[in-house]
Amino acid sequence: MSSSINLSLTDELRKFIDRNTGDGSLYATPSVFLRSLIRQKKEKLEAAELRQAIISGFRDAISGNVYEFSGDLRKDMKAFKKKSTVDND
């Protein structure tokens, strides 16, 4: 599904977009250029979230907060949730 958005830009931003679109540039149109920038920002934010999750996992491992994988993720998740519920009571 396609959706539109209207943006008000400063002259400086419009010139920047114009310099990066059209003949001889990587992007054919301003829309293609802006979509690419938005995708890059989205990917950057997702990568930062993933890095945080990895760091959190390393911290858990360092502190000894680990569980041996049985080969059945659903079973392990149920056991973890059950243990977490018991620990919090």
For 23, the domain range is 11-88
Q: Determine the pLDDT at residue 89.
A: 62
Give the count of domains, the chain: 1
Q: Is residue 47 part of a domain?
A: yes
Contact 61, 54 (CB under 8 A): no
Q: Is residue 6 part of a domain?
A: no
Q: Is residue 25 part of a domain?
A: yes
Q: Is residue 71 part of a domain?
A: yes
Name the pTM for this structure.
Answer: 0.68
Q: Is residue 55 part of a domain?
A: yes
Tens of pLDDT, residues 51-72:
999 999 999 999 998 888 899 9
Tens of pLDDT, residues 18-54:
999 999 999 999 999 999 999 999 999 999 999 999 9
Residue 73 CA neighbour count, 13 Å, CB half: 0
